[in-house]
Chain A
Amino acid sequence: MEHPILFISVILDWIGLPVPHGPIGTTFLEKLCEPYLTYSWLVMAFLFVVPKLTLGKLELIPGTGQNFWEVLIGGILDFFAEHMGRKQARMLFPILATFFLYTLLANMIGLLPGFMSPTSSLNITIAMTIIVWVMHHVLGFRYHGWKYYKHFTGPILLMAPFMIILELIGNFARLVSLSMRLFGNILAKEILLGVLFMLAGAFFAPLPILALGVLVSLIQAVVFVLLAVVYCVGAMEHAH
């Protein structure tokens, strides 16, 4: 949508699959061939294949590939442990680290010509946000039982119906703001790059934005995961 040429769409078109011309297709097959979906699968395939290739067999004396992944995974785990404690960090590590790696790669991939960021589609970000949102409520229920719902009513009994409405609105606002922030930042980056490339691509006009894009991609990935951590910690430690 933002970039002039998306190579996966070109390949799919060449094979004979119906690639939608707008952002959203009409038939089921067109929906499957939407660029953000195919690029999301590309990112997933990358995250499956590249660790498999670089890691190989785990060895006692790590080689280059194993060193890289050990540092990365260890760093992420320490980062989570700082915020939520070692035990909870180990429990939530698989889902949160997956979110981090996927979001980071999905943000970054849009910087290459011929690729787009899957996270510049609201469908992808809202899907991730719904998972995080449901997860933190499930965690709250698991840690506190029915008492978890009691904190929605606030301290004063008379104010309870009022407070329930406020908490409900606040909770849905979380859902909207978390998905909209990631989507908005990445879409802005994509559109800016596309426009600058079309206007003055021959004079390297997009270069500074490319450099900023790396920063934005990293920060947005970290912030998304960090907010998921903050919500989970808040749900787990609510002891009113």
Chain B
Amino acid sequence: MAEEERGILTELARYGQIGTTFAASIFIGFGIGWWLDNKLFAGKTTPWFSFIFLGFGIAAGFKHLWDLSKKISDD
């Protein structure tokens, strides 16, 4: 794919998605941890899984950024 063929809309689609994806991955990570804590283990492990999976969610957000920047530098 040539660089000039891509046009401004592709860039818009790619970069416009960064913010929501980052926020969504953090929320999903925390949501999984909260579910494990409060539903699966019924509150016995309460803050721990939430915090660990919150960390996973943040890491997933950064991984998305990392993958994207790698893809851009490859092109």
Contact = CB atoms under 8 A, between A and B. Distances in A.
Interface string A174-194: 101110110000000000000
Contacts of A198: none
B47 to A, nearest CB: 19
B21 A223 contact: no
Contacts of B59: 166
B52 to A, nearest CB: 10
Among A178, A181, A219, max chain B CB count under 10 A is at A181
Nearest to A180: B20
Interface residues of A, number: 21
Interface in B20-38: 20-21, 23-25, 27-29, 32
Interface residues of B, number: 26
B14 A230 contact: yes
Contacts of A83: 1, 6, 10
Interface string A220-231: 001100110010
Contacts of A173: 21, 24-25, 28, 60-61, 64
A169 B14 contact: no
A176 B57 CA distance: 13
Among B24, B29, B63, max chain A CB count under 10 A is at B24
B13 A169 contact: no
B41 to A, nearest CB: 17
Contact of B28 (A176, A222, A227, A230): A176
B75 interface: no
Contact of B56 (A165, A180, A226): A165
B36 to A, nearest CB: 12
Nearest to A184: B20
A181 B13 CA distance: 11
B16 A169 contact: no
A165 B33 CA distance: 12
11 contacts: A82-B1, A169-B56, A173-B21, A173-B61, A173-B64, A174-B21, A177-B23, A180-B24, A181-B20, A223-B16, A226-B9
Closest 8 pairs (CB-CB, A-B): A173-B25, A177-B20, A176-B24, A169-B60, A173-B24, A226-B13, A177-B21, A166-B60
Interface of B: 1, 5-6, 9-10, 12-14, 16-17, 20-21, 23-25, 27-29, 32, 56-57, 59-61, 63-64
